């Protein structure tokens, strides 16, 4: 069944003067990257998990039929639909490493009620479905070479420190990274329907992770319509404003803390770039700014720890395999999601660099310098634990050790967790993998207490001895209250933020 019919181009003229459609439609028409905008009549009900296949008419002579590959809801009250055209790839290309999802012909759609947005990729060409208001939709042919470039990522103050994630085997089989999507005053005015394409971009980001054998799922933490005026603020300014501007920065942090969003991405109307982000982001700088929705996965990738291309003779960051990849030596030409484009074009495929995945027999990366999938798997637990669900705590004295999981943001009674220590002194409290910004406190009956706030990620916080003055650690803020502690700890608690 056809998803839509292309209407007579004369109907576009009528839409241009429709007051409910004209503002956003004219923005699309005036975008230099949009080489053709056509009115369409869409059957929105086809965007459903029940639809196993749909046909897309790109012109009178060209139609493409896509098969359903996934239909997870990208956001509450939204329906997702992802498909490709080649379920038999591994029959035609027999290497076990051959990619399963078609790299050049695929579709990603999102429906909310009677509105549909999405991207259609066909042999290096990008078409976009967009909702323009008043129940109307358009099909846009996009010239990706005319889109703004993606900016170089920014290095934060922690960039020179040794990365504890490098070479560390993840303890979990899978990580969920929660993402908060933010709008500005200007971006909401320019695109009132921004939430759908933003959610669709997050859907695509998850597709790239799955295709690349990365054990990460992005989860939408929520949307936040910020009272932020981006006028005159370049990308670098906006990234800093997300943390430092008042009242915007503190307001954003309160929303982020409440929603436990590991990463935050803001939709901007700035047009110098498609996006910019902090590289190897700490919790405090887990921010990105995007002007092109298709750059969301790329900018989140910078936050997690991946960079652009690396070529012989270029400086090497740590780890050396953190780079995207592009193949120009033969056919098929391609670039991965973190890579820059190339000239003549090498289409960006829905994969991250990974030498264990092949495209028609060609590895999609190298072990030495182009293995973003490995880099993401290295660091996924660090980012997913910017807002952890629990902390591993161990209480010890000369006779016994008791270990338990403590829910972050809550309080744990020692007698309930470790009855042995209900009436005995504790010599050492050990807390493992304390995220930046988390405060961990111990108290004795509420009258004596001590709090430790991590200024950066701490692989291990060792609290000893409890009866003496608190040991002062680098990157830890220690606060005491009440009388001197004796070691008879009754409660441990934790919180996010200051």
pLDDT in tens, 301-336: 999 999 999 988 888 888 999 999 999 988 899 999
Higher pLDDT, 322 or 341: 322
Q: Give the residue from 109, 103, 152 showing the smallest Cα distance to 347.
A: 103
Higher pLDDT, 44 or 474: 44
Q: For residue 280, what are the CA distances in angstroms to 259, 376, 465?
A: 22, 10, 34
Is the pLDDT at 419 greater than 90? The verdict is: no
What pLDDT is stored for residue 264 in this prediction?
Answer: 99
Q: In what order do the strands lie in the sheet with 275-279?
A: 154-155, 275-279, 287-290, 263-267, 175-183, 216-225
What pLDDT is stored for residue 372 in this prediction?
Answer: 98
What pLDDT is stored for residue 60 in this prediction?
Answer: 86
pLDDT in tens, 238-294: 999 999 999 999 999 999 999 999 999 999 999 999 999 999 999 999 999 999 999
What pLDDT is stored for residue 79 in this prediction?
Answer: 98
For residue 400 the two structure tokens come to 């016994």
pLDDT in tens, 53-73: 999 999 889 999 999 999 999
pLDDT in tens, 427-457: 889 998 887 788 888 888 877 788 888 887 7
Which CATH code fits 147-387? 3.40.390.10
pLDDT in tens, 108-119: 999 999 999 999
Over range 26-55, report the average pLDDT: 97
pLDDT cut 70: percent of the chain above it: 97
Q: Could you give phi then psi for residue 28, rounded to 5 degrees?
A: -65, -45
For residue 433 the two structure tokens come to 């993998």
What pLDDT is stored for residue 33 in this prediction?
Answer: 97
Over range 199-219, report the average pLDDT: 99
What pLDDT is stored for residue 483 in this prediction?
Answer: 72
Is the pLDDT at 160 greater than 80? The verdict is: no
Is the pLDDT at 338 greater than 90? The verdict is: yes
pLDDT in tens, 375-403: 999 999 999 999 988 889 999 988 889 99
Question: pTM of the prediction?
Answer: 0.86
What pLDDT is stored for residue 446 in this prediction?
Answer: 74
Give the residue extent of every domain in the chain: 1-145, 147-387, 390-495
> In whole numbers, what is the pLDDT of the chain averaged over residues?
92
């Amino acid at each position: 069944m056809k998803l839509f019919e292309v209407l007579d181009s004369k109907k576009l003229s009528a839409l241009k003067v429709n007051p409910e459609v004209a503002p956003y439609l004219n923005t699309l028409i005036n975008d230099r990257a949009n080489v053709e905008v056509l009115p369409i009549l869409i059957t929105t009900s086809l965007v459903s998990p029940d639809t196993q296949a749909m046909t897309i008419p790109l012109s009178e002579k060209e139609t493409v039929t896509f098969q359903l590959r996934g239909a997870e809801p990208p956001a509450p009250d939204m329906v997702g639909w992802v498909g490709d055209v080649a379920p038999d790839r591994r029959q035609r290309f027999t290497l076990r490493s051959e990619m399963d999802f078609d790299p050049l012909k695929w579709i990603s759609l999102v429906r909310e009620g009677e509105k549909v947005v999405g991207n259609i990729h066909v042999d290096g060409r990008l078409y976009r479905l967009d909702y323009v208001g008043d129940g109307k939709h358009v099909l846009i042919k996009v010239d990706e070479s005319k889109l703004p470039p993606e900016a170089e990522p920014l290095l934060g103050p922690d960039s020179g420190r040794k990365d504890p994630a490098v070479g560390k085997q993840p303890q979990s089989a899978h990580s969920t990274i929660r993402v908060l999507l933010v709008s500005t005053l200007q971006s909401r005015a320019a695109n009132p329907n921004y939430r759908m394409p933003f959610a669709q971009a997050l859907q695509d980001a998850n597709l790239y992770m799955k295709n690349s054998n990365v054990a990460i799922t992005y989860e939408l933490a929520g949307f936040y319509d910020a009272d932020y005026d981006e006028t005159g603020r370049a990308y670098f300014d906006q990234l800093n404003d997300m943390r430092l501007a008042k009242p915007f920065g503190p307001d954003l942090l309160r929303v982020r803390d409440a929603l436990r969003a590991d990463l935050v991405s803001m939709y901007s109307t700035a047009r110098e770039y498609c996006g910019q982000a902090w590289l190897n982001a700490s919790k405090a700088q887990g921010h990105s700014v995007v002007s092109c929705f298709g750059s969301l996965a790329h900018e989140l990738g910078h936050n997690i720890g991946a960079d652009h291309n690396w070529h012989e003779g270029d400086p090497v960051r740590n780890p050396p395999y953190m780079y995207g990849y592009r193949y120009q030596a033969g056919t098929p030409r391609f670039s991965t999601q973190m890579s820059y484009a190339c000239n003549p074009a090498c289409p960006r495929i829905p994969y991250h660099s990974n030498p264990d995945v092949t495209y028609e027999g060609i590895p999609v990366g190298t072990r030495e310098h182009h293995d973003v999938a490995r880099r993401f798997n290295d660091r996924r637990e660090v980012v997913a634990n910017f807002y952890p669900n629990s902390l591993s705590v161990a209480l010890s004295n000369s006779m016994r050790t008791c270990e338990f999981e403590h829910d972050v943001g809550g309080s744990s009674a020692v007698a309930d967790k470790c009855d042995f220590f209900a009436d005995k002194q504790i010599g050492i409290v050990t807390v493992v993998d304390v995220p930046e910004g988390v405060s961990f406190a111990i108290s004795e009956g509420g009258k004596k207490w001590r709090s430790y706030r991590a200024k950066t990620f701490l692989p291990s916080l060792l609290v000893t001895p409890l009866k003496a003055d608190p040991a002062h650690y680098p990157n830890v803020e220690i606060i005491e209250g009440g009388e001197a502690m004796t070691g008879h700890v009754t409660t441990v608690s934790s919180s996010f933020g200051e």
